[in-house]
Amino acid sequence: MSSPYRIRVVGDPVLRQRADEVTDIDERLVRLCSDMLATMYEAPGLGLAAPQVGIQKRFFVYDLGAGDGGQVLINPVITEGDGEWEYHEGCLSVPGLSFDIVRPKRVHVTGTDLDGNEVDFEADELFSRLIQHELDHLDGVLLLERLDDEQRRDAKRQLRQRVMDAPEPTSTRGPFLGLR
């Protein structure tokens, strides 16, 4: 099955905007989530946030492969974080690049599920990292903002090189790649 969405990549302004709260959990949202999960599985990735497919709403889909299938978290908020955990982090919107990034090891999260129920839970290690990464997308933040100076120089160099080697259609690219 072919993916219903094209995943937006670095340089697309939609990845740099803060997404709006979801106000209605309706059939349309359920269908969007199902399509986004299909896109995520095809990529493949562990998580996909709405802005990555051009939708400016605060929700994301994920599947950590724990056997409980695709999940959805709507209007997520991290209320607490503690500890430090390093993980080699990548992003479907920054294809081909990944970096060792330290973020809080555990987070406490609140939000809403696709049935409209309030959820409130602790996440640790990979699950915690996924939530922090996807929530960044909802705030218009890419993992490039989480790099140290040396990693950032390396990322800029690789992204610049890629543009020279294989220019993508100009419609998906800004004049530069959005790295500050």
138 interacts with Zn ion by CB under 5 A:
no
Name the minimum Å distance from CB 89 to Zn ion: 9
- In the chain, where do the E strands start and end? 47-49, 59-62, 71-82, 85-90, 98-103, 106-112, 118-124
Distance of CA 4 to the CA centre of its chain: 17
Of the listed pieces 31-39, 54-62, 86-94, 154-162, which binds Zn ion according to CB under 5 A?
86-94
91 interacts with Zn ion by CB under 5 A:
yes
Using the minimum distance from each CB to Zn ion, give the nearer residue, 29 or 40.
40
Tokens of 170: 């100009």
Tokens of 90: 């990548």
Name the minimum Å distance from CB 135 to Zn ion: 10
Backbone angles phi, psi at 73, to 5 degrees: -125, 125
- Among residues 125, 134, 145, 168, which one is catalytic? 134
123 interacts with Zn ion by CB under 5 A:
no
Residue ranges in contact with Zn ion by CB under 5 A: 91
